[in-house]
Structure 1
Amino acid sequence: MSALPIWETLGTSVMGLGKKLNQDWGVAEGTGTADDPLVLAVADGHGSVSYPRSDLGARFAADLFAARGREFGALVRPGRLPRLRDYARYELPERLVRDWQTRVWEHWGRQPGPEGADAPREDVLRLYGSTLIGAVLAPGLLVAWQLGDGELTVVDEDGRVRLPLAPERAELGDETASLCMRKAWHLVRVHWEPLPEPDRAPRLVALSTDGLSKSFASDEGFTEFTAGLYERLAARGVPGIAEDVPRWLTEASRHSGDDTTLALAHRADRACGASGPDPRAAWSTAPEPAAPWGPGAGVDPVSKALDPSSGLPDPASSPPDPPLSPPDPTSRLSDPTSGLPDPASGLSDPSAGTRHDDEETERP
């Protein structure tokens, strides 16, 4: 008989209120063993008229991270961590950005828009703009990367909720860093957390797009939701909440007006059966439900393409790696209802970036 998985995963995505297209994408796969590292990713396409292909950009981002994440997880072995740390902080972010930009350019070459196949590369990348959060869990190690908004949330074995990649300074309004920015790898935040004692490893790791956190009136509300989610998971496991999560995300979307995606991994080493507190109680002080988004809703966003990395030197002295060519996925995240921070890091958190309006538009 095969051993039970160390982790159980769940991934769910719902479309924003009044939108015609979900511009989020997510991945949740693996069990966290040496042979099957756990990989989580969520990506949020910007969605306004300036980014008409951002749904594809989000899809490319999450799927390409999954491929690189599996490669990284397979390298995690005792004695390799010092080298892997440098790779995770510097090399992998650049590879991720180059992978994505190469994939976008290749897609444009096959399916150009009205601007034509010879449109300027930077203009083309902008059309697919997306954020990205990704995490890899392997025996003895948790690593996560973030570009742009959204949340990485960790619940420790004592029930404490923390957000290891929360920026030191809040981003301004709807502006966020994006994969479409030149040298975007300089803006990636990295969380490196060795886990030498398995019994003290996190119990829950969750990645979510900002459609979830924006549905609460305060950061405390979002933290309370995560605590409630963890207690439900600890009591019932993923199967016990699988039918509830899509409804919770739909409620979040009703308040934020945005697509909402959640990819989580729960360490299932406790007995399940009893019910925990309802995490939706955190919405008792949530803002009023959002009005529908879209061209007919009076939304007139002014898109900006501020690139805080434009003045930074390019550390790459060799050509980029050949692009990955993972199989093109045929489905989104499955709907369960249908079946140690690095204080020495020099990476900066941008205070300006790409406008993230999430207005629904048709792709040409």
Structure 2
Amino acid sequence: MPTDGSARPLWESLHGTVQGVNKARNQDHYEVEGLGTAGAPLIMAVADGHGSAVHARSHLGSRFAVDLFVQEARLFASLAQPRGEGRPPSLAWLMRYAEYAFPRQLVSAWREKVLGNWERSSAPGDPPTPEEEKLLLYGSTFVGAVLTPRVFAAWQLGDGELTVVGDGGQVSVPLAPKEADLGDETESLCTPKAWLRVRTHWAPVTAPSRAPRLVALSTDGLSKSFASDKGFRQFMTGLDERLSTEGTECVRAALPEWLAKASQHSGDDTTLVAAWHTGDEPARQPVETVEPVEAVEPAAPVDMEDLRDPYRSEQ
């Protein structure tokens, strides 16, 4: 994980992945970087390739999803910070960017990456293949988050979980869909107009004490290993408690065994990336108070010109 010598970490991370029993390969992919400081924002992402014969290249699709999310997240984090002597964009502008521009840019980049990979790997003389069939081969879900001293934002498409343990110890899954998916069905990056199906969590950090204690991203192999949602939440509560009492290093050492047991129960690839809040960055800038927006599902059109210039004056 990169370090920022100019400031101590605000977050410590732990992560791991286990291939599912009888699986030919691990379809999950993940990445984590940064410290949560202004100079090194914390970025986390997990993606789960669908893995069936219809999605024969989904192990690539999940890797592309994570790599491209990290790129877009770096851009988003840079927009949230002051530039030189100027003020950063307003939280209202950043929220619109997160809800509308970010999902569209990520999905567009993923589709371009997938189609480019198809073209490079196809043999001369292969029969023409419709674009949607090409995308289907790479189908994947994703969950990603960005944490800076100013804002906590996250995005999700398809199954998996974003779990947040608040400053008071309360456990929530703010990006859980309103209705559970049926069986193995899930939304995907290969779905037409997938950016409209991306769910967004938006939570400005209005005070140091209001930052979450724990933020965790996991693929559905973890949640499916429990008999109920209650069991999954109890696991996350236990993770928070052990981080509090034993520290990050002890939990890191135990994590592979926990994931292996979960994978045995679910039979699926199992991945967890988590960040534990360790402290507050000195001399943080005051921020505007904006109420958190939970699980936003953008449907209304938005003028993309308004999102290209963060310093454009608002009417």
Superposed, 1:265-304 pairs within 5 Å as 265-269=275-279
In structure 1, what is the Cα distance between the partners aligned to 2:147 and 2:295? 22
- Name the structure 1 match of 2:46: 42
Give the distance between the partners of 2:91 and 2:176, measured in 1 at CA: 24
Q: Is 1:235 equivalent to 2:235 in the alignment?
A: no
Equivalent of residue 270 in structure 2, options 260, 268, 275: 260
Measured against aligned partners, the alpha-carbon deviations of 1:29-78 in whole angstroms (never above 9, x if no partner) come to 11111111110100000001110100000000011101111111111145
- Are residues 1:347 and 2:298 paired? yes
- Greater CA drift, 19-28 or 78-87: 78-87
1:138 and 2:157 aligned: no
Contact 2:152 2:203 in 1 (8 A): yes
Within 5 A, what are the aligned runs for 1:165-184?
165-184=175-194
CA contact (8 A) 2:15 2:272 kept: yes
Find 1:16's aligned residue among 20, 37, 47. Answer: 20
Query: Within the alignment, does 1:61 sit opposite 2:71 as a pair?
Result: no
Contact 1:164 1:341 in 2 (8 A): no
C-alpha separation between the residues in 1 aligned to 2:69 and 2:11? 19
Q: 2:200·2:294 contact (CA, 8 Å) conserved in 1?
A: no
Q: For 1:234-258, what per-residue CA distance to the aligned partner results, in whole angstroms no more than 9, with x for missing partners? A: 1233212112101100100000000
Say whether 1:111 aligns with 2:137: no
3-state SS in 2 of match to 1:243: helix
Q: TM-score, normalised by structure 2?
A: 0.84
- Counterpart contact for 1:140–1:198, Cα < 8 Å: no
Counterpart of 1:24 in structure 2: which amino acid?
Answer: D
Q: Structure 1 CA distance, aligned partners of 2:35 and 2:13?
A: 8
Seen in structure 2, the aligned counterparts of structure 1 residues 237 and 118 have a Cα distance that, compared at 3 Å, is farther
- Answer yes or no: is 1:74 the counterpart of 2:78: yes
**RMSD between aligned residues:** 1.9
Aligned residue identity for 2:255: V
Give, in angstroms, the shift of residue 346 of structure 1.
5.0
1:318-345 Cα offsets, whole Å, 9 max, x none, are xxxxxxxxxxxxxxxxxxxxxx552694
Q: Does 1:147 align with 2:98?
A: no
Tell me the secondary structure at the aligned position of residue 35 of structure 2. coil
Long gaps (5+) in structure 1: 271-339, 349-364
C-alpha separation in 1, matches of 2:62 and 2:154: 17
Q: Deviations over 1:248-285 (max 9, x none)?
A: 00100000000001111111249xxxxxxxxxxxxxxx
Q: How many residues matched?
A: 279
State the TM-score, normalizing by the size of structure 1.
Answer: 0.73
Percent identity between the aligned chains?
53
Query: Aligned partners of 1:202, 1:144: CA distance in 2, in Å?
Result: 13
